[in-house]
Amino acid sequence: MQKELPDHYRPWMEIANKLPQLIDAHQLQAHVDKMPLLSCQFLKGHREQRLAHLVLSFLTMGYVWQEGEAQPAEVLPRNLALPFVEVSRNLGLPPILVHSDLVLTNWTKKDPDGFLEIGNLETIISFPGGESLHGFILVTALVEKAAVPGIKALVQATNAILQPNQEALLQALQRLRLSIQDITKTLGQMHDYVDPDIFYAVIRIFLSGWKDNPAMPAGLMYEGVSQEPLKYSGGSAAQSTVLQAFDEFLGIRHSKESADFLYRMRDYMPPSHKAFIEDIHSAPSLRDYILSSGQDHLLTAYNQCVQALAELRSYHITMVTKYLITAATKAKHGKAKHGKPNHLPGPPQALKDRGTGGTAVMSFLKSVRDKTLESILHPRG
């Protein structure tokens, strides 16, 4: 990925490249306050705009949460707010850190000719959290990579239904199942690279937003943009196109509360990603086609995809239990083995049982997993 902006934007990059140190020294806000107000007109092309959104989103999260959740900044100064809103409008993204910033834009290869694997990847912009932060971002990027054959399989399967070609559909469903299983396996690398105590006490706050967050009930004032504070959700895995696309394709229907949240998260995706999910939604129904075909081998292949997706969601629940619920309990009882950085005023309380997106995370994930399992098809007869 591109990792440098044009020279005009050096004031942004100089701060962004020292972000963890500036936050640790409580100096980020002072540095941002002195930044010149720069226009986005010198950003050329989509990649520079995406990199600018990444840089400005990291500056924003660091600025708001520099002093921890006890003293979040209530006003984003105009020299940050105006260009951030400008580049966000150009990209069709909200002016907050989103999944496509943190993960999809925020990696580069150490050796450009080397493989796309964790040893050859590095992040472009960082928060405090050291190796655990890098691990969290890069493992998540590899999860997205593992999903690529699955996303391609959705397109192949949709074309196979339109033709119709049952053999091609069967092969596409098998590729989808293998991709989902590979996602689950890749997600397991979190255990090797991300320390739960550091994720909970250090990293998590910088992914938190100002909607459904008791630490910032009024939202954030974007100076020069709006007379009223604005509310945006923090980062969430629900902002990844992957699982939402799989759900639409497999015809999985979630409870109203979960569906409303998932649907809202589509506004945090790049517009082309959101459009892809909507295209799958409007394509012919896979479930209807399989039931009307009467072909047991198609029904079995479909059910194996649903089962694999439910297993991925169960595994996600075990990860959230380790990195959130258990880590929260340890932090509360003072058992976290890593001393928290001295500037953090204790573990975050406002989101203790909530995801960074603001959901009551365990009930949400269990509901989504259970509704996935309920989608298993039974032969007619």
Instruction: State the binding site for heme b.
Output: 316
Nearest Cα neighbor of 68 from 274, 218, 208 is: 208
- Compute the residue count for the chain: 381
Q: Max CA-CA distance within the chain?
A: 72
From residue 302, alpha-carbon distances to 151, 239, 252, 295 in Å are 15, 25, 12, 11
Per-position b or e across 288-314, b if 16+ CB within 10 A of its CB? ebbbeeebeebbebbbbbbbbbbbbbb
CA distances to 81, 332, 350 from 215, in Å: 20, 18, 6
Copy the structure tokens of residue 97. 């850190």
Residues with Cβ within 8 Å of residue 59, at least 6 apart in sequence: 12, 15, 16, 19, 28, 32, 80, 84
Pairwise CA distance, residues 381 & 376, whole Å = 16
Query: What is the CB neighbour count within 10 angstroms for residue 4?
Result: 11
Question: What amino acid is encoded at 289 in this protein?
Answer: Y
Cα gap 93→266, rounded to integer Å: 10
Which residue ranges make up the annotated binding site? 316
Helix 241-250 to helix 148-162 angle (10° resolution) is 30
